[in-house]
A and B are shown apart, each in its own frame.
Chain A
Amino acid sequence: MPSGVNGTERGRQGADGGRYLDGGRAGFPFALATLVLGISFGVLARSLGWGTLAPIVFSVVAFSGSAQFAVASVLGSGGGAIPAFIAAVLLNARFGPMGVAVAPYLKGGPFRRALEGQAVVDASWALASRGGGRFDREFMIGATAPQGVAWIVGTAIGALGGDFIGDPERLGLDVIFPAFFLVLLAEELRGGRRAIAVALIAAALALVLVPFAPPGVPVIAACAAALLGLRRS
C-alpha cells in the first residue's frame, strides 16, 4: 500500500497555477455533463412552477445536483419543506467524509478552509485523489470551477428556455454521470486488490439498501466498506 500523508507533497507556490489549469482541463468533460444536468434541473423546476428565479438562485447558493433534484422530487410530489430538507441532507452527507479526506491539503484559517471545502464535488474530489489518501488541492479547485459555472448556466438555460430542449433522457444523457463515475472508479481500482474488494462490497451494500433506505443513504452506508482499510495489509 502507498505511504501516508506526506508534508512535502503540498504544492509549492510556483507550480500551483499550472495545477489549477490542469484541474480545469480534467474537469471540463464533467462540466459538459453538468451543463446537461443543469438544463434538466432547470426544465424540471420550471415544470413544477418554480418560475425562473428560484431554480437559478438555488443552483447558485446550493451548487449541489443530487440535493437539488431531491428537493424538486419531494416538493414536486407534494412533500413539505422538512422531508425535502432531510432528503437533501442525506444525499449530501457523503461530502462529510470527503471533506475530512481533503482537509489536510487545504490552506489557511478556519474560514478559508470552510470556503475551500465548498469545492468538494464528487468528480473533482475523485479526480484530485492521488492514491494513498492524498489529494491535490489546486487540481480539485480547478476541476470544480468549470462545473460550478456549467451548473448555474445550465439551470438558467433550462429554466428560461426549457421547452425548446425537450427531454434529456431521450438522448440518453442520464447515463453520462454513472459512465463518468465508472471511468473514475476504473482509475481507483488500479490501486490494487484491496480497492477492488472495497468497491465490490460498497456496490453490494448500496444495491441491497436501495429498496429499504431513503435515497442517499445507500451511498453513505457503502462508504463503510472503506473501513476495510483498518485491517493491516
Chain B
Amino acid sequence: MTTLWVTIFAVALASATIKAAGPVLVGGRELPPRAVSVIALLAPALLAALVVTETFGEDQHLVLDERAVGVAVAAVALALRAPVLLAVALAAATTALVRAFV
C-alpha cells in the first residue's frame, strides 16, 4: 500500500512540474517566430499521434480491432459533415456492435 501512495504523490508532483515548466520558464515573453511556426504545427502532430496510438495501439503492439472500425465510422461521418457528437456516438455504437456480434 505504501508503494501505491508513494507513486501517487510522486506522479502528481512530476505531472504538475512538467505542466508548470513551460509557463514558468518562458514567462510572458513572446517566442521567436521560428519557435512559433513549430508550435503552430504541434497540435496536428500531437493529435494525429494520439488518434493512431489510441486506435491501433495495445500495450506495445499494433492491432487492428473494433476500435479501428469505430474511428473509421467517425471519420466518414465527419467527412459527411455530421455533427461532432453524432460522429462520436456512431463511433462508440459501431465499436460496441462489432464487439458484440463479430
CB-contact partner of B20 in A85, A117, A181, under 8 A: A117
CA separation between A173 and B38, bound complex, in Å?
A: 33
Counting chain A CB atoms within 10 Å of each CB, which of B40, B56, B78, B87 scores highest? B40
How many chain B residues have a CB neighbour from A under 8 Å? 77
Whether B44 contacts A198 by the Cβ 8 Å rule is yes
Near B by CB (< 8 A), chain A positions 194-233 give 194-196, 198-203, 205-207, 210-215, 218-219, 222-230, 233
CB-contact partner of A84 in B7, B24, B60, B96, under 8 A: B7
CA separation between A180 and B15, bound complex, in Å?
A: 23
The chain A residues found within 8 Å of chain B, CB to CB, are 1-2, 4-5, 7, 29, 33, 50, 54, 57-58, 61-64, 67-68, 71, 75, 80-81, 84-85, 88-89, 92-104, 106-107, 110, 113-118, 120, 122, 125-126, 129, 131-133, 169-186, 188-189, 191, 194-196, 198-203, 205-207, 210-215, 218-219, 222-230, 233
Whether A113 contacts B20 by the Cβ 8 Å rule is yes
CB-contact partner of A222 in B9, B25, B46, under 8 A: B46
Nearest 7 Cβ contacts at the A-B interface: A99-B22, A172-B95, A172-B96, A222-B49, A103-B26, A114-B20, A100-B22
Residues of A within 8 A of B38 (CB): 226-227, 229-230
Residues of A within 8 A of B96 (CB): 170-172
Give a binary string over B20-49; 1 marks a CB under 8 Å from any A CB, 0 the rest: 111111111111011111111111111111
Known: A61-B9, A106-B28, A182-B51. Is A202-B44 also a contact (CB below 8 A)? yes
The chain B residues found within 8 Å of chain A, CB to CB, are 1, 3-12, 14-16, 18-31, 33-57, 59-62, 66-67, 70-71, 74-75, 78, 84-85, 87-88, 91-97, 99-100
